[in-house]
Amino acid sequence: MKVGVPRESAAGERRVALVPDVVKRLAGRGVEVVVEPLAGEAALIPDALFEEAGATIGDPWDADVVVKVAPPDSEEIGRLKRGGTLIGFLAPRTQPETLQALAAAGVTAFAMEAIPRISRAQSMDALSSQSNVAGYKAALLGAEHATRFYPMLMTAAGTIPPAKVLVLGAGVAGLQALATARRLGAQTTGYDVRPEVAEQVQSLGARWLDLGIEAAGEGGYARELSESERAQQQQALTDAIKGFDVVITTALVPGRPAPKLVTAEAIEGMKPGSVVVDLAGEAGGNSELTRPGEVVVEHDVTIVSPLNLPATMPEHASQLYARNVQALLELMLDDDANLALDFDDEVIAGACVVKEGEAVQA
């Protein structure tokens, strides 16, 4: 089987779908890997390292399986081999036109974000691996933009108390943000509408903010709140947020706009020099004053809404993503390293969004 690794074309995308270490492992199983020239350049991986690992530098688009990071554009879809297979982040819930174009191109496509979140698929969970990167970087952005120290400092000139950091959403990104902020010396607090994650928050040395609202949903995500629940939650959060120096938001509902958890009133009530880092910008943002992709100052509070944070740490983000792809590819191979898609397997079936030219999952 031949696997192709194109150079990512999306603006700001610096990751690459496979790294030399993973190429070497696949080559050891008899898989031929073709990497487009300079595919790893933005991730600081030269072509020579791919070649040393056993890859060929050339045209990846006629491969049996093409692996990407970002969803393909129309030109890239047109270069896919009819009857071939595509693996990558495909945004099946928010970009249905991409699935329609892939179906028209006659390919079979697997979305990394659609992989079932079950125990045996943990090694393929690219959402989690990339959320770890985003959560880590979010804590650093909070420290960078804050006008106050994160750690407590005891100096001859007096003692500076630690910054108070609140993280909204205790998924993978939120937990990593809490852990990183605490390593930097901040006093951390976590909040989520799922009370069952309180123990995870507390295990990281953070306090738990209990607002008395529960919204546990399917697949480890929160369900969408009712109007009355949302109003109650927002008022309680508005009152709580005013006491924090940095607020990091990570709340998402799959396929829907991000819930507005940080109101304009809450931001107006924060101390001047405070920071909001909104990781939900790509879904509209968790803050009412967020401008996705921008850094703005409102009421003397800095609101940071970065897009595609994992791409800002392309080396390690690519390593993690490539291992996720490797695990999925190995599930697709038979003992002779041929592509053998078993659609009775819940992982294969769950991740498939286009099957032999027909969209099977929106």
Which residues are the active-site residues?
A: 117, 122, 125, 128, 221
Q: What is the 3-state secondary structure (H, E, C) of the chain?
A: CEEEECCCCCCCCCCCCCCHHHHHHHHHCCCEEEECCCCCHHHCCCHHHHHHCCCEECCCCCCCEEECCCCCCHHHHHHCCCCCEEEECCCCCCCHHHHHHHHHCCCEEEEHHHCCCCHHHHHHCHHHHHHHHHHHHHHHHHHHHCCCCCCCEEECCEEECCCEEEEECCCHHHHHHHHHHHHCCCEEEEECCCHHHHHHHHHCCCEECCCCCCCECHHHCECCCCHHHHHHHHHHHHHHHCCCCEEEECCCCCCCCCCCCECHHHHHHCCCCCEEEECCHHHCCCECCCCCCCEEEECCEEEECCCCHHHHCHHHHHHHHHHHHHHHHHHHECCCCCECCCCCCHHHHHHEEEECCEECCC
Asked whether 171 and 250 are in contact (CB, 8 A), the reply is yes
Rounded to whole angstroms, the Cα distance separating 117 from 126 reads: 10
Indicate the burial class of 193 (C-beta count within 10 angstroms; 0-12, 13-18, 19 or more).
buried
Distance set, CA 334 to CA 124, 337, 342 (Å): 18, 5, 10
Token pair listed for 70? 């970002």
Would you give the end-to-end CA distance of the chain in angstroms? 28
